[in-house]
Copies of this chain bind each other. A is one copy, B any other.
Amino acid sequence: MKVLAEKAVVVGTGLIGASLASAAKQAGVFARVSGVGRSEANLQAALSAGHVDVVTTRLDEALDGADLVVLAVPVDTAVALLPEVVEATGESCLLTDVGSVKTPICEAAVAAGAAARFVGAHPMAGGTDSGAVHADPDLFRGRVAVVTPTPETDAAGIEVVERLWQALGSRVVTMGSREHDATVAVTSHLPQLLATCLAETATRCDDRGHLEELIAGGFRDTSRLAASDVAMWASIVDLNSEAIVEAMDAFTAGWERLRAAIEAGDAAAVESILTAGCSMRESIGK
């Protein structure tokens, strides 16, 4: 495959960063990859597994001569690092990221004067394990990668990032950062918060100590996400609060309709909501 970057720099060699570096090297789209991170142990794990060619804890050192930089750190860290990355790289160096909320980093790129050479990305992949030791070059295969250019991104830059994700085996969906954030507020952040509040409700309803004994598979499935990393989700909620409140309100509107129908004993209305949910869930498959 055609080389997309002679010298790529992956900032953050955790699960996503190391998997991306490894897959891009294997696919031949990154000629050389530098890994940057704070943890020496994690960098050495990425290096010894061959996911990256060189590693350093010094961001400025790594960025020297880079033609593509991938920020693979938490969204708030990426937003904080971006001005330094813009400053240390040339106008021809393409900048991208992998964060799960896209408007803050796209706005940061505009604010840093790098709107033309920044393209956001969000691979819909991940896992419960973290760190370079769990990196897997097939992590993105068969998954959707959302690509979110800024309004001023060069067409050529968009194409490079789209081709990068295609090379990793992902199906690319390109949209604006606000559309991305509103959509994942419904498809990802809303399920997380529902799972959290279901589990939290159970802690308040256990009058006689029998509640846990009557928990079966349905509760487990529906609340599974509640066990996710609290700090990561607190940050996502903070960074996408507006779209999340909107998604919560959309849910509440349906929830209140259902409650009213149940209280009124309106069997037809209850069945209509159950049917709408059933059809939608069946349409997306197992």
A residues apposed to B, CB below 8 Å: 124-125, 143-144, 146, 171, 173, 175, 179-180, 182-184, 186-188, 190-205, 207-208, 210-216, 218-228, 230-231, 233-234, 237-238, 241, 244-245, 247-252, 254-255, 258-259, 262-263, 265, 267, 270-271, 273-278, 280-284, 286
Contact = CB atoms under 8 A, between A and B. Distances in A.
A284 B187 contact: no
B173 A213 contact: yes
B224 A221 contact: yes
**Could you say how many copies of this chain the assembly holds?**
2
A187 B216 CA distance: 7
B219 A271 contact: no
A187 B190 CA distance: 20
Contacts of A216: 124-125, 143-144, 187-188
Nearest to A286: B220
A218 B215 CA distance: 20
B220 A222 contact: no
B173 A187 contact: no
Contacts of A282: 227
Given A184-B214, A221-B222, 19 more contacts: A144-B213, A173-B213, A175-B208, A183-B210, A186-B201, A186-B211, A188-B214, A191-B223, A196-B277, A198-B251, A199-B280, A200-B254, A200-B276, A200-B280, A204-B254, A212-B283, A219-B284, A222-B222, A244-B262
Given A263-B245, A275-B230, A277-B200, A195 B222 contact: yes
Contact of A191 (B171, B187, B198, B267): B198
B234 A267 contact: yes
